[in-house]
Amino acid sequence: MNQPPFLEKGDKIGIVAPARSISFEEIHPSIRLFQKWGLEVILGTHIFDRCHQYAGTDHQRRDDLQQMLDDPSIRAILCARGGYGTVRIIDGIDFTRFKENPKWIVGYSDITVLHSHIYQNYGIETLHATMPFNIKDPDVKDDTTESLRKALFGENIFYRTPITFPGRTGLSEGILVGGNLSILYSLMGSESELDTNGKILFIEDVDEYLYHIDRMMQCLKRAGKLDHLKGLIAGRFTDMRDNTIPFGMSANEIISETLKDYSFPICFDFPAGHGSLNFALYHGRKIRLIVDREAEVTF
C-alpha cells in the first residue's frame, strides 16, 4: 500500500464538497478547529454553490476536487459532508497527479465512493473519518475529532470497545476496506467495486429500511464478497426504518444471520459511521482485529 505523508503544523489542507450542499456557517467551526491544529485551510472554489441538493453542478464539484488533487501544496483533502453525489463525478476525475503526490482523502458516508475507488485502482490509503459538517464546537475536545487529528498527524491509533451485540470471537489480520453499505452495494459491477478477498470488511449505514439491509447483505453474499474475508467490523447502523409489517430482525441480527455459515471474527456496534462517536479508520491499511469480551482494532 501507498501511504500519504502525515501532516505537520503549517501544512495546507483543502475542503471540498463533492456531494450535498454546504454553507459557510456549517463548516466555520471546523475551520477554526483546523487552524488551532496549526493547519492552513483552503476552500474549494465552488464549495458554497448550489444545484438542487448538490454543492454545485457535477462539473463544479468535479473541478474543485480535481484542483485539490492536482495541487502539490495541499497535503489533505477533507470532504465537507456526505449526502449523495460523489458517484456522479468519480469517472471524470483524473488521478494521475494524485498518484504521483498522494495526500489524505478524508470523509465517510457518500465519500465511500472515493475510498473504494482509490483503494481498488491505486492502492493508496485514505481516511474514513468525521467531516467538517459534523464539527460543531472547535473549543470542545472529543474522541471523534481527536481520532481524526491523531490519524492525520500520524499518532498511534488503537481502539478497544465493549461488545454490545454477540459477534464471533477470534483474532485476524488483514487490510481494512469498506465504508457505507449502501454505497458499496451501489458500486457493484463498476471499476470502483472492492475486491474483498483476504480483507477485513467494515460496513455501516444510516436511514435505511431493514429489508434493504438484508437485500444488500444477500447481494454481497451472492457476489462472493464474504467468502474469503479475514474478518468483519459492523459499525453503527443508525436510524433504521421498518415497514408496517415488521421485517422481524434488527440490522445486527440481519448481518449475523447472513454470516452464520462463515468462520471469521465478527465485531458489532464498532463506534464508527453515523453516530455521535465516529473513530477514524485508515482504509487500505493492514489491521489486527481481536474479538473477545471486548473488540480491539490495532493499526
Q: Which of 21, 30, 109, 256 is flagged as catalytic?
A: 109
Do residues 13 and 43 make contact, with C-beta atoms less than 8 angstroms apart?
Answer: no
Summarised one tens digit per residue, pLDDT across range 138-169 is 999 999 999 999 999 999 999 999 999 999 99
Classified as helix, coil or strand, 186 is: helix
- Does an H or E element contain 173, and which? strand 170-180
Arithmetic mean of pLDDT, 275-291: 97
Residue 132: closest CA among 32, 249, 206, 227: 32
Interval 239-262: pLDDT, tens: 999 999 999 999 999 999 999 999
pTM: 0.98
Contact by Cβ (8 Å): 37, 61: no
Q: What pLDDT score does 231 carry?
A: 98
Query: Which domains occur in the chain, in start order?
Result: 12-153 (3.40.50.10740), 158-298 (3.50.30.60)
C-alpha cell read off for 177: 476496506
User: Which residue among 46, 117, 274, 283 is the active-site one?
Assistant: 274
Tell me the C-alpha to C-alpha distance, in Å, between residue 247 and each of 92, 209, 211, 213: 39, 9, 6, 11
Does the pLDDT of residue 176 top 80, yes or no?
yes
Q: Side chain identity at 279, as an amino acid letter?
A: F
Q: Which residues lie across from 287 on neighbouring strands?
A: 174
Percent of the chain with pLDDT over 90: 99
Averaged pLDDT, 289-293: 96
Average pLDDT value for the chain: 97
Strand order in the sheet with 40-43: 40-43, 12-16, 74-79, 104-107, 126-128, 281-283
Whether 52 sits among the annotated catalytic residues: the reply is no
Alpha helices, DSSP H only, in the chain? 24-36, 58-70, 96-100, 112-122, 143-153, 181-186, 210-222, 251-258
Residue 11, CA distances (Å) to 8, 35, 74, 196 in order: 6, 10, 7, 34
Phi, psi (degrees; rounded to nearest 5) at 35: -65, -35
Establish whether 204 is a catalytic residue: yes
- Candidates 204, 208, 212, 283; catalytic one: 204
Looking at residue 87, the DSSP 8-state letter turns out to be: G
Q: CA separation (Å) from 113 to 42, 64, 221, 259? A: 23, 16, 20, 24
- pLDDT of 1 reads 63
59 is catalytic: no
Closest CA to 50 of 60, 40, 42: 60
